[in-house]
Structure formats: C-alpha cells, structure tokens
Homo-oligomer: A and B are copies of this chain.
Amino acid sequence: MRTPPENAQLALLLEVTATPKPGNVDRHRDYPDLRFEHFVAGAVGAAEGLRLAAGCPDEGVGADEGVGGDEDERVDVGIGAAFERAVAGMSQQRGGNTQFGALLTIVPLVRAASRGELSPEGAQAVVEGTTVADAADVYRAFEHVDVTVRDLPEGMDAPDVRHGGDAVPALEERGLSLSDVMAEAAPVDGVAAEWTRGFPRTFEAARWLVDGDESVPVPDRTARAFLRLLAERVDTFVIDQHDESTAREATRRARAALDGEEDPEALAEEFVDRDINPGTTADLTAGALFVALERGLTV
C-alpha cells in the first residue's frame, strides 16, 4: 500500500510518462531545455514537501527541527509551507519549472487524503481552512522558479505573484488567505478555478482513469484523459504563453484528435514545434492520477 505522498509522487511521474500529450514533455518528447529527466528529478525533489502535505514529520538525515516520534506531538505544517517545500525540492534540476502547477493541484488533495476525506467536499474543506500564512508561503514559492503568469484582472486585491515574498506585507495587510487569492485568480487560471470549486474536473478525470479498460496501460489511459480535459476547456497556460486564439485552437484540435480526425502523435509533434504547451491541462491530469491511485488504480 502506497501512502498518499507516495501516490502523489507516482502521479507526477506517470503524468510525464503518458504519451502523446500534445505540447507537453512526455515519454517520447522533450523541449530543448526542458527534458523528461528534469521532470523525473522534480518528482524526486518534491517528495519531502508532499510528505509534509500529508502531515508526515520531516525525516531528513540530521533533521533536528524538534519533530517527535510521538504521534500526539505532530503538528501539521500549513499546506502553503508544504507546497513551498515541494517547489523548492522540485526546482533542484536544470529544467526550471517542471511541476509548479501540478504540485499546486496535488498538495491540497494530499492533505484531504491524509485526513481520509479525498472528495470534493474534503478538498473544499482544506481550501477553506487556508490562512494568510499559507498565501504568504505560496507567494514565496514563486521565488524558486520562473513561472509564466499573466497580469491579474484590474481591481483585484491580491498582489502580483511575481513579487514573491515581497508581497507578503500586502497580503497580511489585506488579510488575504490562500483561498481568497485563488478565488481572485480563478477566472484566469485553471488550477485556481479547481481550488474554488472542489476540484470538479480533477475528480471527473480520475473517474475516467479508474473506470478505464483494465487491459490498457495506465499511461495510455492517462494520455486519453489529458486529451479529454483539453478538448472540454481552453488551457489557461496556453493563453498565458500565447493568446486566447491559440488556446482555442489547442482545444479544438484535441477534440479532433479524440474524434479520430487528427493523429495525436502528429499533433504532439506540431505543438512541441510551435511551443504550444497545455501545461494547466497536464497539472489537472497529475491531480487526476493522484485521486485515481488513491481510489485503487493499479499500475
């Protein structure tokens, strides 16, 4: 039996393994400076943060942070701090941002699973329990890697995430919890949108994986789930990277690939060549894999 942090790590690894996922690094495709092995190293480095997300004590060699072996002494670290640690570990490779969005999707789900409440309601409860300190830690996490983001819409309370830790005083002054920040980002960020609604697309894609044909290898089922997610909603990362029209094209062509009107392999080649990277869809795919593994998907 794998623990929730182990399933979370496996989800990250299976996500990058699944092929073809048009526009993303996968078992058969790299970008020149963002390669498969960077994702592998990212998943290894993220493990400690994922254990913190589950409320496991930090057990690094020589750790002396006062974490006792007595279970009663355990204090859950905030999920913002767990996320920040996961991102710090993930970034120990030369590819840059590999799994920032995937970790932002998975960390609250790991916390829900560790409470025995891996459901839309359980995830919602984790989100609603977030604090200003969690928001501050997530802002600090942006300092570890270069994350492509858009300007928030006019009139928002939340400071620009690109300010990293410098934005913390503003967060504190305005009393913004992580769930407040996510609610503001939801219209322009597909992961934040999941946070505000109990992760509906993540849980739905998990069902596709669990209910899929047992004789089809999990990476193949995952690649199909990726296409279905992309076909049903524009990818906000493609909007950040390019524009709305490119994002709409990606969604239209994913649908054509599902309908057998396009070859998914050729689409994967073309999107990598054109640097059209539906990364938010990959983030939700990783989240769906985590939920599916927790619900008994066998590899």
Contacts and interface: CB of A to CB of B under 8 A. Distances in A.
B3 A40 contact: no
A19 to B, nearest CB: 10
A1 interface: yes
Scoring A6, A9, A44 by chain B CB atoms within 10 A of each residue's CB, the highest score goes to A44
Interface stretch (A65-73, A153-161, A200-208): A65-73
A260 interface: no
Contacts of A92: 1-2
A20 to B, nearest CB: 14
A79 B152 CA distance: 53
A interface, size bucket: 35 or more
B298 A94 contact: yes
Which of A4, A9, A73 has most B Cβ within 10 Å?
A: A9
B64 A67 contact: no
Given A94-B298, A299-B38, A2 B219 contact: no
A10 B69 contact: no
B3 A60 contact: yes
Contacts of A276: none
Interface string A28-49: 1000000111101101110100
Contacts of A299: 37-38, 40-41, 93-94
A62 interface: yes
B2 A44 contact: yes
Which of A3, A67, A68 counts the most chain B CB atoms within 10 A? A3
A247 interface: no
Contacts of A217: 35, 37
B4 A61 contact: yes
Contacts of A13: 13, 40, 43-44
A69 B57 contact: yes
A262 B36 CA distance: 27
A139 to B, nearest CB: 24
B10 A40 contact: yes
Nearest to A56: B59
9 contacts: A2-B45, A4-B61, A9-B47, A57-B69, A59-B59, A66-B69, A68-B69, A93-B298, A94-B298
Given A93-B299, A94-B299, 15 more contacts: A2-B92, A3-B61, A9-B44, A10-B40, A10-B44, A13-B40, A14-B37, A27-B36, A28-B28, A36-B219, A47-B47, A56-B59, A57-B69, A61-B114, A66-B69
